[in-house]
Every structure is written in structure tokens, then in C-alpha cells.
């Protein structure tokens, strides 16, 4: 069962109930980007505040055992638990496991054993608290479920899966024969992580170890079947080598590599759809990391919305191309995003070639009211469409786009889409900066006496004021 708690950020709660068939895995998704919400740091601290039962059962130890089960299969994150006493609270950036009569003031729904509340910023999880229903009779045992007694370790195993970012696969319409995944929404006789539980979590945080294609020299080979290929891997625990370029202009930090030799000339399309991280993508030629030639790169299909990467380029027969996938690094101190990644390649041999850009447009700065122009030089293009901040500019359908009388509203990013019979190709994205004139300096203060101290002749202004004052007094006298 799910219990939605809407606060400043979205808190998505998942409860564990009582046995339905399920298969696979599902995720808690950021509806704005389509990416799973996951923990950004390799250390996941847990504060265990479950205590001991009257019969001497150490519930903190049961929760620690569940955390160790997850740690054994994950490479990019590890639960780190400490024992504490006290009262849990929300939105304190502390991940707490407690017993409670309600969930921070909200009643448990019928039959719910435990609830995980989560907080996030964008795609990144910032807090997860697990509240076990104190109205239940809790114990610690293995084997089949026992009537009237709930095994805390297997419930904790499930709830920690929610804390990692997993959802209920059966509620996503997936069906499977027993044994059922731990992440099934209803408690079953299964007390260990199912292969689907493990696969689901590893898609988010990777398996233990370093990827085989972490380094440029270890790039894995892409093999086409019917002129297409899909390969998968992980960027978790990957590194960035000294001298490695910034793919799509982002610093990244966790890149993996593939290579492919074009069997013929023709246009190639690459994308990272199906990845579980915010990716960057780069294509290069060259035999060594320090002497690569950049062919094409991309960050987002739709910046901030579709955070998979996509690009196209024209392949030359017999040329080996290197493909790098990295995670976007937003400089928040957590490093590059990482997870399971997918690379999709589509090739059209001997077909018409995409346009070839020989000169990319350049960023420019103009004064307010000035003229700005962007130009692309390309061969093979039959159509042009200039874009401003991702939207089409009406009438801007030539190789040059000119802005007269530039205003601050024209400042932003521009690129041009070139088309022909083979498809479309985007130029580099460039920036227009419009400088507004500085305000005039404030007038200097009026010179004159400010009082204090002796000596000095009175200013002309002061004498004039005295005259005016004397005139006013004369007028007053006359009126009397």
C-alpha cells in the first residue's frame, strides 16, 4: 500500500501488507524527468532507534542484518548504521528507524505493518525514515510467516528497499510465480532478496566492483545486429582518467567506454534512453586518450526534462569510433550521477549522408540595441531551423540568423537544426549575452559648510538664504 505525504517536497510512502504474485522491480520516479529518485552519496547513514523487546529481542540487530543483505549486492551505496535512542522527526536530513503509533501524525492504514517516508530534491533522495507500526506484535525468526507475529528483519529488508528507491512491482502490473520478490507489496514466506530485487537495486546503484570498461583502453566492442545495437553497463564506481575530455562540456567524473568500427559510410544515431542516471554522451576518434578528436556530444535530449542524451554523426567506412557515457555533475559535492546505463546505436549504411557542419555558430556579446548574428556553415543541408532556449524561432530558416535591436529578452541559448533526406542534425548550442549600459554615476555632493568648527566665510548659498529669510520677514511686517 502507498500513502502519499505531500509537503514542501514530495514524500512517497510505501507500506507492507499481507500475499499476491509479483515479478520484477519498479521505482519511485521523478515525474518531471522520468528518472528514479535515488540516494546520491556512497554512504547511506541509518539511525536505528528500535530498541529491545520485553522478551529480549534486539530489533536494532534485526534491522542491521537487513541492511547487510542489501550492502552485499550493491556497489555504489552502503548502509551505515548507528544505534540511538530518542524520537524521530521529519525533514531533519537524518534517516531514522523507529516504532510508532502513527506516521508523524498520520494514522497507519488498515493492515499496514510499516511505512517509509522519503524526501527529495530533483532526482536526489535527501531523507528516508521508516516507521514500524507499534500496534503489531513484532518478533525475529526465519522460515514461513507465523500467525500473529511479524518478523522485523524481512519487513526491514522490504522498507530499506523503499529507502533505496524501489517501489512495489506487483502494483506496476508485474506477475511472477513464487518465490516472490521482497519488494512485493504483501509479506510472504520469502525472507531473502529475490534476483529481481537485486537487479532493480543494482540498476540504481550498480553491483560491487569497478566496471570493466572504466578506462578508454578497455572500451568494450559494440556489435551490430541488423544495423542496430543496444549495450548496457554501469557508471557506479567508474572514474575519470587524467586527460579525459569533458563530455558534452560537463566535468562528469564517472565515465565508461565502448568502441565501434563503421563497416561502411552512413549516418549514425546514438542515445542513452533506458539509463537510470542523468547522462552525458561523447563520440571521439583517435588511438589514445590524450589525442582524441571530438566528433559529437550531447547532455540532455530536452534539458532538465528528458535527461537521457542523444546525437547523430556521419560515419566513415573503416573508422573506429569511441563512445563515452558519463554522469552529469551538478557541482553539489556529490560527484557525477551514476547508475545503470544503456547505449542504443542505429546505423544506415550507404544511405544519404546527414548534413556536415564545417563551421559551428559562435557565442556572442552585444550591447543593448545592437545587432547579433549567428551563422552555421554546412554542406548537404536542405533545411534550417534556428532555436531559442529550445523553442523554434518563427521565420529563422536560413544558415544565418540575425537579431536587430537586441534586447535583454533576446539573451539565452541558440542552436540550429539542419535537415535533409537522411534526417536532422543539431549544431552546437551557443549563448547570446546582451550588455545593458551602466546607470549614470550619482552627482557629486554640493560643496559648502556643514557647521562645526570656527572660521571661514559663509557660502553664497547661505547668504542668499539669509536674504530670502530677511525678505520674508519684511513682507510679514508689511502685512501687519
- Provide the pLDDT for residue 173: 73
Give the list of residues 6+ apart from residue 450 with CB closer than 8 angstroms, or none. none
pLDDT in tens, 196-232: 999 999 999 999 999 999 999 999 999 999 999 999 9
Average pLDDT over residues 170-196: 86
pLDDT in tens, 25-49: 788 888 888 899 999 989 999 999 9
% of the chain surpassing 90 pLDDT: 73
- Residue where the block lists cell 529563422: 396
Average pLDDT over residues 176-200: 90
Average pLDDT over residues 441-470: 47
pLDDT in tens, 296-347: 999 999 887 889 999 999 999 999 999 999 999 998 888 999 999 999 999 9
Average pLDDT over residues 264-289: 96
- Provide the pLDDT for residue 70: 98
Give the list of residues 6+ apart from residue 388 with CB closer than 8 angstroms, or none. 410, 412, 413, 414
CATH class of 356-435: mainly beta
Which stretches within 174-237 are classed as H helix? 195-205
Distance, CA of 337 to CA of 335 (rounded, Å): 7
End-to-end CA distance of the chain: 94
Query: Rounded to 5 degrees, what are φ and ψ at 112?
Result: -75, 130
Distance, CA of 336 to CA of 7 (rounded, Å): 28
**In this model, does residue 463 exceed pLDDT 70?**
no
**In this model, does residue 271 exceed pLDDT 90?**
yes
Predicted confidence band at 24 (pLDDT cuts at 50, 70, 90)? Answer: low
CATH ID of 2-205, from 1.10.167.10, 3.30.1360.170, 3.40.390.10, 3.20.20.70: 3.40.390.10
Give the list of residues 6+ apart from residue 104 with CB closer than 8 angstroms, or none. 5, 88, 89, 90, 117, 129, 131
Average pLDDT over residues 157-183: 87
Average pLDDT over residues 98-105: 96
Predicted confidence band at 441 (pLDDT cuts at 50, 70, 90)? Answer: confident
SS3 (DSSP) at 238: coil
Identify which of 71-80, 414-423, 459-468 has the greatest average pLDDT: 71-80
pLDDT in tens, 364-388: 999 999 999 999 999 999 999 999 9
CA-closest candidate to residue 295, choices 259, 321, 333, 318:
321
Predicted confidence band at 20 (pLDDT cuts at 50, 70, 90)? Answer: very low
Predicted confidence band at 444 (pLDDT cuts at 50, 70, 90)? Answer: confident
What DSSP line would sit under 449-469, residue for residue?
A: --S-SS--PPPHHHHHHHHHH
The DSSP element (H or E) to which 64 belongs, if any, is helix 59-71
Every domain of the chain and the residues it spans: 2-205, 216-347, 356-435
The DSSP element (H or E) to which 382 belongs, if any, is none
CA distances from 463 to 177, 452, 469, 474, 476 (A): 104, 18, 10, 17, 20
Q: What is the mean pLDDT of the chain?
A: 87
% of the chain surpassing 70 pLDDT: 87
CA-closest candidate to residue 107, choices 1, 253, 231:
1
CATH architecture of 216-347: Sandwich (2.60)
Give the list of residues 6+ apart from residue 20 with CB closer than 8 angstroms, or none. 170, 180, 184, 185, 186
Average pLDDT over residues 248-254: 97
Which is higher by pLDDT, 6 or 470? 470
Q: Return the axis-axis angle of helices 59-71 and 152-164, rounded to nearest 10°.
A: 50
Amino acid at each position: 500500500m502507498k500513502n502519499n505525504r505531500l509537503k514542501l517536497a514530495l514524500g512517497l510512502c510505501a507500506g507492507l501488507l499481507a500475499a499476491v504474485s509479483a515479478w520484477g522491480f519498479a521505482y519511485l520516479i521523478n515525474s518531471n524527468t522520468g528518472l528514479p529518485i535515488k540516494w546520491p552519496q556512497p554512504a547511506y547513514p541509518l539511525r536505528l532507534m528500535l530498541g529491545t523487546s520485553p522478551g529480549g529481542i534486539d530489533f536494532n540487530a534485526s534491522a542491521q542484518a537487513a541492511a547487510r543483505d542489501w550492502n552485499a549486492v550493491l556497489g555504489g551505496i552502503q548502509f551505515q548504521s548507528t544505534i540511538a535512542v530518542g524520537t524521530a522527526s521529519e525533514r531533519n536530513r537524518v534517516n531514522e528507524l523507529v516504532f510508532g503509533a502513527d506516521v508523524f501524525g498520520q494514522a497507519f492504514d488498515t493492515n499496514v505493518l510499516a511505512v517509509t517516508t522519503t524526501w527529495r530534491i530533483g532526482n536526489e533522495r535527501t531523507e528516508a525514515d521508516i516507521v514500524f507500526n507499534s500496534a503489531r506484535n513484532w518478533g525475529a525468526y526465519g522460515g514461513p510467516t507465523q500467525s500473529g507475529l511479524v518478523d522485523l528483519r524481512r519487513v526491514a529488508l522490504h522498507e530499506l528497499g523503499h529507502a533505496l528507491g524501489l517501489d512495489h512491482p506487483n502494483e506496476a502490473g508485474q506477475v511472477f510465480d513464487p518465490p516472490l520478490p521482497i519488494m512485493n507489496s504483501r509479506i510472504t514466506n520469502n525472507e531473502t532478496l529475490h534476483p529481481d530485487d537485486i537487479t532493480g537495486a543494482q540498476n540504481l546503484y550498480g553491483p560491487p566492483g569497478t566496471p570493466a570498461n572504466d578506462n578508454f583502453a578497455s572500451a568494450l566492442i559494440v556489435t551490430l545486429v541488423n544495423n542496430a545495437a543496444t549495450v548496457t553497463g554501469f557508471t557506479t564506481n567508474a572514474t575519470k582518467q587524467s586527460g579525459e575530455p569533458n563530455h558534452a562540456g560537463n566535468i562528469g567524473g564517472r565515465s565508461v567506454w565502448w568502441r565501434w568500427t563503421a563497416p561502411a559510410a552512413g549516418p549514425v544515431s546514438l542515445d542513452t534512453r533506458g539509463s537510470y542516471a542523468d547522462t552525458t554522451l561523447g563520440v571521439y576518434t583517435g588511438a589514445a586518450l590524450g589525442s582524441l578528436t571530438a566528433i559529437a556530444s550531447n547532455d540532455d535530449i530536452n534539458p532538465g526534462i528528458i535527461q537521457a542524451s542523444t546525437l547523430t554523426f556521419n560515419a566513415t567506412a573503416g573508422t573506429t569510433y569511441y563512445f563515452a557515457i558519463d554522469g552529469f555533475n551538478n557541482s553539489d559535492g556529490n560527484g557525477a550521477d551514476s547508475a545503470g546505463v544503456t547505449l542504443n546505436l542505429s546505423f544506415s549504411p550507404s544511405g544519404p549522408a546527414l548534413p556536415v557542419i564545417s563551421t559551428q555558430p559562435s557565442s556572442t556579446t552585444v550591447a543593448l540595441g545592437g545587432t547579433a548574428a549567428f551563422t552555421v556553415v554546412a554542406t548537404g543541408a536542405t533545411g534550417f531551423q534556428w532555436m531559442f532556449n529550445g523553442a523554434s524561432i518563427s521565420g529563422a530558416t536560413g544558415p544565418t540568423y540575425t537579431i536587430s535591436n537586441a534586447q535583454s529578452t533576446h539573451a539565452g541559448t541558440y542552436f540550429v537544426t539542419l535537415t535533409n533526406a537522411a534526417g536532422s542534425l543539431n549544431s552546437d548550442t551557443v549563448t547570446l549575452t546582451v550588455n545593458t549600459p551602466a546607470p549614470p554615476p550619482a552627482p557629486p555632493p554640493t560643496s559648502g559648510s556643514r557647521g562645526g568648527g570656527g572660521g571661514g566665510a559663509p557660502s553664497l548659498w547661505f547668504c542668499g538664504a539669509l536674504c530670502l529669510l530677511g525678505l520674508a520677514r519684511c513682507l510679514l511686517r508689511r502685512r501687519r
